[in-house]
């Protein structure tokens, strides 16, 4: 994220005849050969590794893991080649590692969400190479100006190549070749013997049947964006994040009493509620007909909303006028106490979610709840830093956005289904059969099914038969998809490690998987499993 100092801007090179304007939004770097090579390499990998790795047939998945993974693994190197600033900064290292982690995950099992998040990381990488600060305002202006002003830039590449090479040397090679071709064709057409010798050459089909419309689009789009983004290196004025000014005159504001009284009331309200909350959490035994879903699931959502509102209130209170108030230390003390009560409330939210997960199992949405609560907790910590350091609201919003972005990337990167159903399988093995309902009711990805093979050793016959029938259905769907996509040529790009591991596990547990004579028996076993899990939920 951006700091308090203005980043180093590359020295202006006017060799290309371009000068920065006073507004600081004109490109200040000429076209370089490394940039030309990077654009060509980017177009190549966009076509060969990305476009040709997308299965547009009837396969149940649209992405082929290996090709997409290699595309994202090579992309940071291409962006580094075309970047103006090739210094090895901490931002570039972190972003590159994140992209490579995403590529490794895609090699195992690709997903559209992770692909979108990785494209965002690539955009941040190319922005870092252009010296653009990582703020929403600067990134937005960077993207808008790069594409609006860089629209004609790809058309200048031929001129750059001609201008860089010696024109007389170029024409001294091209003109003789052209003259030889023209007179050669005339001589061939004038001699029947030469025509017979050259007949195979005359029958060559020069039509570009291999070039599809989609490839043309990929070429144009990748060339346009890379050419425009590589060029941009803007002098962007950095805002001063610190708003505390010791030399400014101190003036008391009427808002002090409003916010002090508000914080005092909220602290009192939080303390009273937290006492009641923890009495309810640790009450043993619990009252009869205790509504666990309402308390743990819906209640946690409402408490998370309260934490989010608390961050908004703190952001509203500490304005520049408040920072110039001589009674600021007392207001900071009240705010610190309220932030501490919010952290205790966040612990209660985690406890509620933990009780619900232990009782009813883990699901994708409950993992989202843990991530969302974590985002709010980190936001509260950023609020604490803002209050005591005196940063602007823009600084805080930027940290909020970065926190959410990192957590979204981690959520897309981690094998969530494998974690979820490893936990549920462990709980089922311990005798908590209510977790089995999540298997029957939720959509499960391939890495989730990989975590459920140990349940084939369960002592419960209904669990064994149900899991076995589901695994057979997944295998059948994979085989059907493979048959439907036979029109697509076999390619190394179609390799997906998760599918290979699944087939290997199916052979390993073949003796423990029930065998059904037809799909109707298999589907009936799945239906019985769903009825059984509802009865024990």
Chain center to CA of 269: 39
* CB of 63 closer than 8 Å to CB of 112: yes
Q: What is the DSSP letter of 150?
A: T
Q: From CA 22, how far away is CA 234, in angstroms rounded?
A: 11
* CB of 343 closer than 8 Å to CB of 382: no
Q: From CA 380, how far away is CA 369, in angstroms rounded?
A: 17
At residue 391, the 3 state secondary structure works out as strand
Query: Using CB atoms within 10 A of its CB, is residue 424 exposed (0-12), middle (13-18) or buried (19+)?
Result: buried
- pTM, full prediction: 0.74
* CB of 334 closer than 8 Å to CB of 260: yes
Per-residue model confidence (pLDDT) at position 55: 58
Q: One digit per residue, pLDDT tens: the chain, 537 residues?
A: 444 343 443 443 433 334 433 334 444 456 777 788 888 888 888 888 888 777 544 443 445 678 888 999 999 999 888 877 777 888 889 999 999 999 999 888 878 888 889 998 998 888 887 777 777 777 777 776 665 555 556 666 666 666 665 555 656 677 777 777 777 777 777 777 777 777 666 555 444 455 666 677 778 778 777 777 776 545 555 555 556 555 555 676 778 888 888 888 888 988 888 888 888 777 656 555 556 666 666 677 778 888 888 888 887 888 777 777 778 888 888 888 988 998 998 888 888 888 888 888 888 888 988 998 899 899 889 988 888 888 877 788 888 888 999 999 999 999 999 999 999 999 888 888 888 888 888 888 888 999 999 988 888 888 888 898 889 888 888 877 766 655 555 566 667 788 889 989 989 888 888 888 788 888 888 888 888 888 876
* CB of 83 closer than 8 Å to CB of 419: no
Q: From CA 65, how far away is CA 111, in angstroms rounded?
A: 9
Per-residue model confidence (pLDDT) at position 101: 93
Paired tokens of 454: 């140990």
Q: From CA 292, how far away is CA 404, in angstroms rounded?
A: 29
Q: From CA 426, how far away is CA 361, in angstroms rounded?
A: 10
Q: From CA 28, how far away is CA 18, in angstroms rounded?
A: 6
- What value does the CA radius of gyration of the chain take, rounded to a whole number of Å? 31
Paired tokens of 324: 């110039």
Per-residue model confidence (pLDDT) at position 418: 92
Query: Cα 243–406–144 angle (5° rounding)?
Result: 70
């Amino acid at each position: 994220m951006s700091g308090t100092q203005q980043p180093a801007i590359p020295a202006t090179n006017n060799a290309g005849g371009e000068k920065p304007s006073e507004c600081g939004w004109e490109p200040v770097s000429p076209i370089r050969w490394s940039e030309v090579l990077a654009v060509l390499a980017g177009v190549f990998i966009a076509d060969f590794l990305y476009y040709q790795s997308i299965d547009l047939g009837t396969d149940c998945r649209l992405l082929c893991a290996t090709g997409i993974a290699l595309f994202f693994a090579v992309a940071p190197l291409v962006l580094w080649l075309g970047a103006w600033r090739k210094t090895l900064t901490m931002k570039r290292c972190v972003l590159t590692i994140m992209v490579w982690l995403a590529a490794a995950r895609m090699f195992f099992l690709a997903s559209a969400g992770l692909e979108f998040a990785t494209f965002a990381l690539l955009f941040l990488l190319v922005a870092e190479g252009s010296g653009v600060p990582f703020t929403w305002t600067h990134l937005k202006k960077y993207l808008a100006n790069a594409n609006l002003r860089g629209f004609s830039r790809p058309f200048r590449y031929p001129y750059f190549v001609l201008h860089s090479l010696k024109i007389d040397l170029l024409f001294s090679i091209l003109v003789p070749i052209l003259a030889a071709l023209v007179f050669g064709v005339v001589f061939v057409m004038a001699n029947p013997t030469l025509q017979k010798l050259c007949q195979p050459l005359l029958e060559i089909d020069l039509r570009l049947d291999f070039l599809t419309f989609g490839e043309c689009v990929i070429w144009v789009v990748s060339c346009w964006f890379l050419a425009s983004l590589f060029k941009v290196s803007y002098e962007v004025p950095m805002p001063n994040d610190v708003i505390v000014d010791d030399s400014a005159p101190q003036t008391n504001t009427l808002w002090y009493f409003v916010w002090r009284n508000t914080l005092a009331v909220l602290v009192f309200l939080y303390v009273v509620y937290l006492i009641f909350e923890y009495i309810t959490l640790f009450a043993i035994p619990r009252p009869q007909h205790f509504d666990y879903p309402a308390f743990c699931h819906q209640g946690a959502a409402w408490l998370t909303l309260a934490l989010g509102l608390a961050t908004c209130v703190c952001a509203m209170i500490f304005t520049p006028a408040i920072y110039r108030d001589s009674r600021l230390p007392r207001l900071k003390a009240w705010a610190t106490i309220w932030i501490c009560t919010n952290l205790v409330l966040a612990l209660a939210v985690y406890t509620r979610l933990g009780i619900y997960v232990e009782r009813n199992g883990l699901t994708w949405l409950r993992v989202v709840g843990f991530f969302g609560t974590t985002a709010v907790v980190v936001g509260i910590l950023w609020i604490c830093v803002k209050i005591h350091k005196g940063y602007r609201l823009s600084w805080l919003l930027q940290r909020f956005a970065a926190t959410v972005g990192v957590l979204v990337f981690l959520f897309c990167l981690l094998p969530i289904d494998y974690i979820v159903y490893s936990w549920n399988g462990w709980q089922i093995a311990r005798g908590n059969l209510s977790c089995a309902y999540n298997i029957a009711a939720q959509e499960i990805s391939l890495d989730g099914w990989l975590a459920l093979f140990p349940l084939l050793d369960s002592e419960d016959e209904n669990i064994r038969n149900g899991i076995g029938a589901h695994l057979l259905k997944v295998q059948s769907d994979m085989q059907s998809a493979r048959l439907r996509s036979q029109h697509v040529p076999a390619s190394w790009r179609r390799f997906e490690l998760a599918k290979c591991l699944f087939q290997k596990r199916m052979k390993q547990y073949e003796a423990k998987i029930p065998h059904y004579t037809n799909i109707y028996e298999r589907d009936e076993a799945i239906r019985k499993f769903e009825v059984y899990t509802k009865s024990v939920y």
